[in-house]
Structure 1
Amino acid sequence: MQTKLDSVQLKTLALQFVIGDSTGQIKDSYPGHHGKLPSSPEYHEPLGFISGDTLYATYNYPAILFIQVAIWPIILTIIISALFIICIVNFYRTIRNEKKSGEYRKSFIDNLVHDLKRPVGNQIKACYLLPTLPPDEQESFLEDNRKQLNEMLQSINRMLLQSTDAHGLQLNVKEFNLKETLEALKQKDRWNTQNKQFDIDVDFRSDNPIITGDYHFLFAVFQNLVDNALKYSGDQVKIQITCTDQDAQHVLIQIEDNGFGIPLKNLKHVFERYNRGDHQGNKKIKGHGLGLHYARIVIRAHGGKIDIQSEEGKGTTLFVTLPRKAKIKNKYKQ
C-alpha cells in the first residue's frame, strides 16, 4: 500500500480494510460496514488455513484528487495538441497558397510569352512585306503594327512590375517631368480596348512639373492604374487624372473612373497579391491580381503611399502621393 501511495505521490488517501470468510461473507471491515467484498483489491492476504479468512485492502481515490494530480498534464496535453493542429492547418494553407501562386505564375508567364511573341513575329514579317505593299496599304499596315507594339509595351511594363518581387526593387532615380508623363496617358492609341468609348482627361494643377524618381517604374504604375480603370468599366468610360501640390514636398495624383466600383468586402484586399475580388474567375477580363500589389511596392519604394476609395456601381478613385525629392535607398524590399 505504501508503494502505491508513493507511486501517485498522494499523502491523503482513505484506506479501507475488509475481512472475509471462505463463503465470501464479510466478518469485519474498517472503516464502517461494507456490503460486499471489493472486486479488485489492491492487496489481499490469507489470514489462516483453517478458518479461510482473507484480508482485503484497498483505498478510495476521489475524483478531486485525480484532478489535482492530473490537471497540469491535461492542460499541457491540450496546449500541445492545439499547437500541433495549428501547425498542420498552417502547413496545409502554405501548400495550398504555394500551389495557387505557382498556377498564377505559370498563367502569367504563358500570357506574357503570348503577348510578346505575336507582335515581335509580326514586326519581323513587316520588315519583309512593307517594301512590297502599295502605298495606300502601307499606312493601314503600319497602324496595325503600331497597335501591336503598344500591346507589347504594356506587357513589358507588366513584366517590369513583376520583377520587383524577386530580389528587391532597384531604382534608377532621376528628375523627370511628371506633367508630360501623365499627359502621355491621354493618347488613345496607347490603349487597346474592344468596343469601348473612353475619354481620359488630365488636370495638372501644380506649378512645378519636375519630381525625382524612377520614370520607368512610375510610368508602368500609372499605366497599370489607367488600364485597370478601362478594364473594370462599362462601354462608356470616363477617367479623370488630377495632380495637385499636397504640400511643398509632395504631389498628389488622383485617378478617378466611372467603372464598376469595388464592393466593401473586397476593398481592403485590393493591394494583396493575386487578389481580383469578384473577378477572380472572369476570363473575359484579363489580369492576375498583381498590378495593384506591385504598384504599392513601387510607390512605397519612392517614399510615397497609395490609397483607394470606391463604391460599388459608382466608380473608383486612387490617390497616389509622391515626394518631390525623396532620399531613396538603392534597393527596396517588401
Structure 2
Amino acid sequence: MNTEGAHLLEHLQTPAMMVSRGLVRFANTAAKALLGAHIVGQDVRIAIRDPRAVAAILSEDGGAARVKGLSTGGSVWEVDCRVVGPQERIVSLYDLSERVSVAKSHADFVANASHELRTPLANVIGYCETLLNPKAGGDEAVRNRFLGTIRHEAQRMQALISDLMSLSRIEAVKHEAPSESVDMVALAHEVAGEFRGGAPVSVRANCTSAVIAGDRGQLSQVLRNLIDNARKYGRPEGLVEVSVEAASTGWVLVTVRDEGEGIPPEHLPRVTERFYRADTSRSRAAGGTGLGLSIVKHIVERHRGRFDIESRQGVGTTASLMLPLRTVD
C-alpha cells in the first residue's frame, strides 16, 4: 500500500485496514484500538475470526457481513470490503451496536405496549359479548358486576395510554435543558397536599426553599408518581415521608419513603425499565401501568440529576433524586 493511501486511512475515525493477498498490510489507529496492534502483518482470518466476514473479505468482488462481539460481547459491527486492486482490499468496520440496540428497544416497547393493551381490551370485548346475551344481560346483579369490570379495564387502558403519551413527550424534549425556576420545598408541600385519605403524607425540609432550573409540570409528575407508589405499596396505616435537603455541594436531595414490604433485591436493578413489575399481579390490581418509574427516571435525567431506589424487605422503600441547585448570578 502506498504512503498516500495509508495517510488517508489513518485520518479516518472509522476502523479501516488494507488487506493484500490475505494479509493485513496496514491498519489505522482506530482499527488497532479495536482489534489490537498485532493485526498488522497477520492473516486476516486470524485478525477477524468470523467466517462470514472473512468470506466477504477474500471474495473476488468483496462484500459486507455483520459480526457480533468485535469490541464487547453484545456489540454488532458491519465489515465492509471494497476491492481496490489485484489481491488488494480496503476493509472498513462500522459500529452498528447503538442502532441495533435502539431498533430492538423500539420493537420490545411496541410488543410490550401491545401486550399490555391486549389483555384489558380482550376483557372488555368478552364482557360486552356476555352482556349482549339476553340471559346474562337481563340479570341486574350480573350486569352491574360486568359493567364494573368493563369500566375498570377501560380505565386501565386509559391510564396506560396517558403514560405512553407522557413518556413520548418527555423523550421528545429530553435533550432540552429546562430553565424554569422551581422551588422544590414549595412543590413538595403542594403535591403532598393533593393526597387525601389513606396513608398520611408528611413533608420535612432542612431549608425554607431549594430552587432548581426545572420543568415544574414534569417535577410535579415525578413527586406525584413517587408518592402514589409509596401509598399503594406501603402499609395502609404507614407513613409516607417526603424529605427535601439542600446541601452546600450545590445539590438538593429529594426522597420519598414508605413503610411497606419492600422490594426483593433481585428486582431493584430493573424497576425503572418500561413495563417491568416486581409484583405483576399486585401492580395491576393497584392500577399500575409499569411505566411510572421509567417516566420518573427520564424526567430526572432530563434535569441532569440522578435517580435511585433503596429498599429493605419488611422495612420499606426509599426513592431518591438528586438535582442541581440553581446558581445565583
TM-score scaled by structure 1?
Answer: 0.51
Residue 293 of structure 2 aligns with which residue? 292
Matched, 1:199 2:205: no
Matched to 1:80, the amino acid is P
Q: Which whole-Å CA distance do the structure 2 matches of 1:94 and 1:153 have between them?
A: 25
**Paired residue for 2:166?**
160
Work out the CA distance in 2 between the residues paired with 1:183 and 1:162: 28
1:208, CA displacement in angstroms?
2.9
Is this contact kept in 2: 1:199–1:239, CA < 8 A? yes
Partner of 2:109: 101
What secondary structure sits across from 1:321 in the alignment? strand
Code of the aligned partner of 1:160: S
Q: 1:211 to 1:85 in 2, by over 3 A?
A: closer
Give CA deviations for 1:107-159 in whole Å, capped at 9, x if unaligned: 67799x9xxxxxxxxxxxxxxxxxxxxxxxxxxxxxxxxxxxxxx99986774
For the pair 1:255 / 2:256, whether they are aligned, the reply is: yes
Kindly provide the CA deviation profile for residues 158-208 of structure 1, in whole angstroms up to 9, marking residues without a partner as x. Answer: 7434422346454542113322210122225x46xxxx7311000022143
Contact kept in structure 1, 2:257 and 2:318, CA below 8 Å: yes
What is the aligned-residue RMSD (CA, Å)?
Answer: 4.3
For residue 79 of structure 1, report the CA deviation from its aligned partner.
4.5
- Alpha-carbon deviation of 1:310? 0.4
Residue 17 (structure 1) aligns with: none
1:67-216 alignment to 2 at 5 Å?
A: 79-80=50-51, 100-106=108-114, 159-166=165-172, 168-187=174-193, 190=195, 197-216=198-217
Question: In structure 2, do the counterparts of structure 1 residues 184 and 73 end up closer, same or farther at CA, with 3 Å as the change threshold?
Answer: closer
Larger radius of gyration: 1
Check conservation: 1:302, 1:326, Cα contact below 8 A.
no
Gaps of 5+ in 2: 1-42, 54-64, 77-99, 122-157
Map 1:5-16 onto structure 2 (within 5 A). none
Query: Structure 1 pair 203/107, CA: closer, same or farther in 2 (3 Å)?
Result: farther
| Partner of residue 35, structure 1 | none
Cα distance change, pair 93–213 in 1 and its aligned pair in 2 (3 A): closer
Alpha-carbon spacing, 1:164–1:275, altered in 2? closer, same or farther (3 Å):
same
The TM-score with structure 2 as length reference comes to 0.51
Q: Which amino acid aligns with 1:283?
A: R
Residue equivalent to 1:124: none
Post-superposition CA distance 1:12-50 (Å, at most 9, x none): xxxxxxxxxxxxxxxxxxxxxxxxxxxxxxxxxxxxxxx
Indicate yes or no: 2:282 matched with 1:274. Answer: no
Q: 1:75–1:207: structure 2 CA closer, same or farther, 3 Å change rule? A: same
Shift of the alpha carbon at 1:234?
Answer: 3.7
Does the C-alpha gap of structure 1 residues 285 and 301 become closer, same or farther in structure 2, counting only changes over 3 Å?
same
Aligned-partner Cα distance in 2 for 1:182–1:251 = 12
SS of the residue 1:197 aligns to = coil
**Distance in 2 between residues matched to 1:209 and 1:102, nearest whole Å:** 39
Which amino acid is the alignment partner of residue 262 of structure 2? G
- Contact kept? 1:255, 1:319, Cα under 8 Å: yes
Paired residue secondary structure (2:287): coil
Aligned twin of 1:146: none
% of aligned pairs identical? Answer: 22
Q: 1:162 touches 1:294 (CA, 8 Å); kept in 2?
A: no
Cα distance 1:267–1:297, how it changes in 2: closer, same or farther (>3 A)?
Answer: same
Residue identity opposite 1:252 in structure 2: L
Q: CA deviation at 1:105?
A: 2.7
CA distance 1:321–1:98, shift in 2 (3 Å)? closer
Structure 1 position 102, deviation (Å): 1.5
Does the aligned pair in 2 maintain the 1:258–1:315 contact within 8 Å?
Answer: yes
User: Bigger CA drift: 283-292 or 297-306?
Assistant: 283-292
CA distance, structure 1, for counterparts of residue 205 and residue 324 of structure 2: 16
User: How many residues are paired up?
Assistant: 212
Higher relative contact order (CA 8 A, sep 6+): 1
